[in-house]
Amino acid sequence: MMARQIVDEVVLCTKERCKKVEALFDTGAVHSYVSDKVAEELGYERYKTPRLAVEKREGEEIGEIPGVRVTIAGCEMLHSHTFGVLRGLRHEAVIGMDIMEPYQIRIDHEKGKPYLEKCPPEVELV
């Protein structure tokens, strides 16, 4: 087991494609998202009507990518995840608490980088 591995790479894979992305790890985000540009490359399900994604700001969730396999710092997460697709997102991806919490991804505030508590990750049912 490798402990406290600093995150230097995030790869998102659908059934058809994989893409290495620059990701923001956001402890204030409940869900994870990708930009519309990344979603175009990976393929996504477009909503009939966009949804407001950010209160009191412009931001539309225009679709989703279900079944995304996530690899962080070379460690594949145990389950697939659904990513929302945000039009005009400044980052290629935002990793939210839906991924950070179950896999014990923490933020090293001194280095300003996320790290994995355990590699390979474990998910514990309580």
Domains of the chain: 10-100 (2.40.70.10)
Q: Select from 36, 85, 33, 89 the least CA-distant residue to 58.
A: 89
Mean predicted confidence (pLDDT) in 29-36? 95
User: 5: pLDDT confidence band, cut at 50, 70 and 90?
Assistant: low
Per-residue pLDDT of 8-17, as tens digits, reads 799 999 999 9
DSSP 24: E
Q: Quick one: pLDDT at residue 2?
A: 44
Residue 123 near residue 81 (C-beta atoms within 8 A): no
Residue bearing the bigger pLDDT, 7 or 99: 99
Interatomic CA distance for residues 114 and 95, integer angstroms: 10
Whether residue 49 is predicted with pLDDT greater than 70 in this model: the reply is: yes
User: 47: pLDDT confidence band, cut at 50, 70 and 90?
Assistant: very high
Q: Quick one: pLDDT at residue 88?
A: 87
Mean predicted confidence (pLDDT) in 76-105? 93
Per-residue pLDDT of 56-90, as tens digits, reads 556 789 999 999 999 998 999 999 999 999 998 99
Interatomic CA distance for residues 89 and 106, integer angstroms: 23
DSSP E strands: which ranges in 32-126? Answer: 33-35, 45-52, 60-72, 75-76, 81-86, 93-95, 105-108, 113-119
Interatomic CA distance for residues 20 and 112, integer angstroms: 20
CB atoms within 10 A of CB 118: 15
Q: Select from 50, 53, 51 the least CA-distant residue to 30.
A: 53
